[in-house]
Structure 1
């Protein structure tokens, strides 16, 4: 693991500091990506757009085996839209059940959390950048998931308010036969994609899935197409979406750091909270 630690973190409210959960905020150092990953990210041109999956071919990401030429990188397309490719491996001691549990648990508030203070369950995932996370309907993700976060590891960038919406991949070309093939190969796919809207004009198309990693654990291949949205069975260019290489670089670094950090505390968190009431502090 990279020994370079992200030292900046947001200040918690006194009520949050008093919660038993706060130890996961303070006691688990968050590390920068590995040196090899940072070398790729810091390249002046981190990937050739010719090696990216074009928006109209976004379902090409979903395959039972094999990899793209570039699994970690980012680029701008000629029309001003952007592309982000990230790859992570979840170690074998982090189970599917642990991650599924956390994905739900982080969207629910505990009894001691105060409206307006954000969600400490989400803040522990990235103490530098995370503020709030919740189901729009407070039950599940069917109406969307709201997120408040920054992307620069506590350096003063503004907070983005985001809503992630689901859509049916079957309406965009995914067939039942292909879905069955992926599942038979051990891929974790639901037939759903997502897109993000923000507190400013713009849309990001998102797609990710997981599968057994040949070297052990589970690998997740994830892509974002910045400036594209699904509309009535077709992908539409959203030209109001802001995008730059600087922004894409922030997204990649933020993503790599938070997923690696989750692996450090999730086993302890799951063991402590999985059998407690859902509103436990």
Structure 2
């Protein structure tokens, strides 16, 4: 098991983008934090994973930011993060770029991101100029060490194509949306069961930038393009799990929104 890393190596400190690790972390979106502080949302207003294509419609859900435990015991998180000055190309680049080394993951949110790795096979595909930007993360697996609000965990994130997430390709305008999602499996570093989840960040253009309509279904996985509840019957996820994830998501994405435009320009949008 890799140790939790909170400091950079001498080699990492030499990299131009190490400054983003040392910069003050951006204040989390205060509007979203106030919503979450009001407590759990009404589970009846949650979007179920079977209805994922509702997110392709114009407008918004009744609850765009909130968390709860669903009647079937699964956890649910929704967050609408804003990214002023950010483009969809920047988003796709970020998810292709940051998986290649610890520093890139740590500078995203040093309070809770400790390390990341990919397989040698995935690394070769990511670095291959012939691989499209979205294919540099869709179909790839990230192994991360992260505190997503409930203590440090080892998490495996298997990024999926839109089709594998159950998204109707005919309704998906890739000029308007960027799709980042997949199956996650997390395990507390202190021990315990492995916990499945579906993760979806649907980025879409808005005036002045993009927004992320994020959704998490804890206790589920996408299998053959359909959501499957893996949480055993009679088991209920504790409310602390979706609550912690919701607050963490606001914090990490508020910081990413602050650094991404400059970071993208400085790296010239290259994968290296």
TM-score greater than 0.5 by the shorter chain? yes
- Segments of 5+ residues of structure 2 without an aligned counterpart are 127-136, 188-192
- Given the superposition, is the C-alpha separation of residues 126 and 66 from structure 1 closer, same or farther in structure 2, using an over 3 Å criterion? same
**Secondary structure of 1:107's match?**
helix
The corresponding residue for 1:259 is 253
Pair 1:249 & 2:249 matched:
no
The corresponding residue for 2:182 is 194
**Secondary structure of 2:68's match?**
strand
Pair 1:219 & 2:216 matched:
no
Structure 2 CA distance, aligned partners of 1:27 and 1:175?
40
1:24-56 per-residue CA deviation (whole Å, 9 max, x = no partner) reads 11123331331x322211123x31011111233
The corresponding residue for 1:42 is 37
- Given the superposition, is the C-alpha separation of residues 31 and 203 from structure 1 closer, same or farther in structure 2, using an over 3 Å criterion? same
Structure 1 CA distance, aligned partners of 2:167 and 2:98?
30
**Secondary structure of 1:31's match?**
coil
1:180-211 per-residue CA deviation (whole Å, 9 max, x = no partner) reads xx44xx52145x85111223422111223222
Indicate the structure with greater strand content. 2
Structure 2 CA distance, aligned partners of 1:13 and 1:77?
43
Structure 2 CA distance, aligned partners of 1:52 and 1:188?
22
Q: Which runs of 4+ in 1 moved over 6 A?
A: none
Instruction: Say which of 103, 107, 114 aligns to 2:99.
Output: 107
Contact 1:229 1:235 in 2 (8 A): yes
Contact 1:106 1:134 in 2 (8 A): no
Structure 1 CA distance, aligned partners of 2:250 and 2:267?
25
- Matched positions, count: 247
**Secondary structure of 2:198's match?**
strand
The corresponding residue for 1:158 is 151
TM (norm. structure 2) is 0.78
**Secondary structure of 2:183's match?**
strand
The corresponding residue for 1:210 is 203
Offset at 1:270? 2.6
- Segments of 5+ residues of structure 1 without an aligned counterpart are 1-8, 110-118
Offset at 1:169? 4.8
TM (norm. structure 1) is 0.76
Contact 1:202 1:238 in 2 (8 A): no
- 166-175 vs 203-212, which deviates more? 166-175
Mapping of 1:1-281 within 5 angstroms? 10-34=6-30, 36-44=31-39, 46-63=40-57, 65-91=58-84, 93-109=85-101, 119-136=102-119, 137-138=122-123, 139-140=125-126, 141=137, 142-152=139-149, 158-170=151-163, 174-179=167-172, 182-183=173-174, 186-189=175-178, 193-199=181-187, 200-213=193-206, 215-239=207-231, 243-274=237-268, 278=272
Structure 2 CA distance, aligned partners of 1:25 and 1:174?
35
Offset at 1:262? 1.6
Aligned residues: CA RMSD: 2.8
**Secondary structure of 1:10's match?**
coil
Structure 2 CA distance, aligned partners of 1:222 and 1:276?
26
